[in-house]
Amino acid sequence: MAKQSGIIKLEGTIGGISFYKSSEGYFAREKGGVDANRIANDPAFQRTRENGQEFGRAGKSGRVIRSCFRLLLQNTRDKRVASRLTGRLLSIIKTDDVNMRGVRTVQDGQMQLLQGFEFNKNARFSMLFNVSYQVSIDAATGEVDMSYSDYKPINMIDAPQGTTHFKISFGAGAIDFENESSEFEMAETPIIAYDDVEAAADSLTANLSANSGFPIIAVLGISFYQEVNGTTYPLKNGAYNALSVVKVNQA
């Protein structure tokens, strides 16, 4: 793979060379590879087919998760979140010790490996929010709860420069990977002033259907704002907002 340089940037295929654009710039590479029909039918490529099936399943599972939490992800993600999430889910699929290669699934793998996943690698929740909190999931009742201790925002939240206010968001999703569907509920604090006034301990609760039988994922995030003439605006269009998977309950 070679990076294109010069004034004119090409996209497409010329003389067996493919020119394309990625988020990192313009590149060129030689067109080639094994014939698709051979990969699909040759026994020698059985492992390749199995890997492809599981990679595709990881991609679909990632789309289901992103769709479930889309309301919280609108201003809380980076450009590579889809590929990073697919990679994490593929690692989970590989821990499935129930199904055979090629048909392993996320829900039969060790889904706890998803805990700690950051949807915005440029703003990690674990680095910004230093308040002590607890998350509990009751699959029988569908209640997903997050409680936190009292704190002084200016001491316990590592806010970006220019922040005058912030908001904490909590969400929970019951994920049906097989049918590519989900149930989602969320709760948020009001917009809070970023100052040295102690904020009281509180809790946020998301109520899902009882006994859904599906894995439940809980996410916790923080959004930053700047007040101008009495009106609060998202700081830098949400570039510093964070959202992280904080707990997983595997059905």
Q: Is the pLDDT of residue 43 over 60?
A: no
The pLDDT, as a whole number, for residue 101 is 87
Judgement on whether residues 99 and 200 belong to the same structural domain of the protein: yes
Query: What is the C-alpha separation between 67 and 88, in angstroms, rounded?
Result: 17
Query: What is the C-alpha separation between 55 and 106, in angstroms, rounded?
Result: 11
Confidence band of 82 (pLDDT split at 50, 70, 90): very high
Judgement on whether residues 220 and 179 belong to the same structural domain of the protein: yes
Judgement on whether residues 207 and 187 belong to the same structural domain of the protein: yes
Q: What is the pTM of this model?
A: 0.82
pLDDT average, residue stretch 125-150 = 96
pLDDT average, residue stretch 16-37 = 62
Question: What are the start-end ranges of the H helices in 180-227?
Answer: none
Judgement on whether residues 28 and 118 belong to the same structural domain of the protein: no
* Higher pLDDT pick, 114 / 28: 114
The pLDDT, as a whole number, for residue 33 is 57
Confidence band of 81 (pLDDT split at 50, 70, 90): very high
Q: How many domains does the chain have?
A: 2
Query: What is the C-alpha separation between 126 and 196, in angstroms, rounded?
Result: 21
Judgement on whether residues 120 and 81 belong to the same structural domain of the protein: yes
Judgement on whether residues 57 and 173 belong to the same structural domain of the protein: yes
Judgement on whether residues 99 and 221 belong to the same structural domain of the protein: yes
Query: What is the C-alpha separation between 96 and 117, in angstroms, rounded?
Result: 19
Judgement on whether residues 48 and 26 belong to the same structural domain of the protein: no
Q: Which helix (H) or strand (E) holds 213?
A: none
Judgement on whether residues 25 and 101 belong to the same structural domain of the protein: no
Query: pLDDT exceeding 70 applies to what percent of the chain?
Result: 80
Mean pLDDT computed over every residue of the chain: 87
Judgement on whether residues 217 and 238 belong to the same structural domain of the protein: yes
Residue range(s) defining the domain that contains residue 115: 36-249
Judgement on whether residues 119 and 230 belong to the same structural domain of the protein: yes
The pLDDT, as a whole number, for residue 193 is 96
- The SS3 assignment for 242 reads strand
Confidence band of 248 (pLDDT split at 50, 70, 90): very high
- The SS3 assignment for 22 reads strand
- The SS3 assignment for 153 reads helix
Q: Is the pLDDT of residue 61 over 60?
A: yes
pLDDT average, residue stretch 48-66 = 87
The DSSP symbol for 118 reads B
Judgement on whether residues 63 and 28 belong to the same structural domain of the protein: no
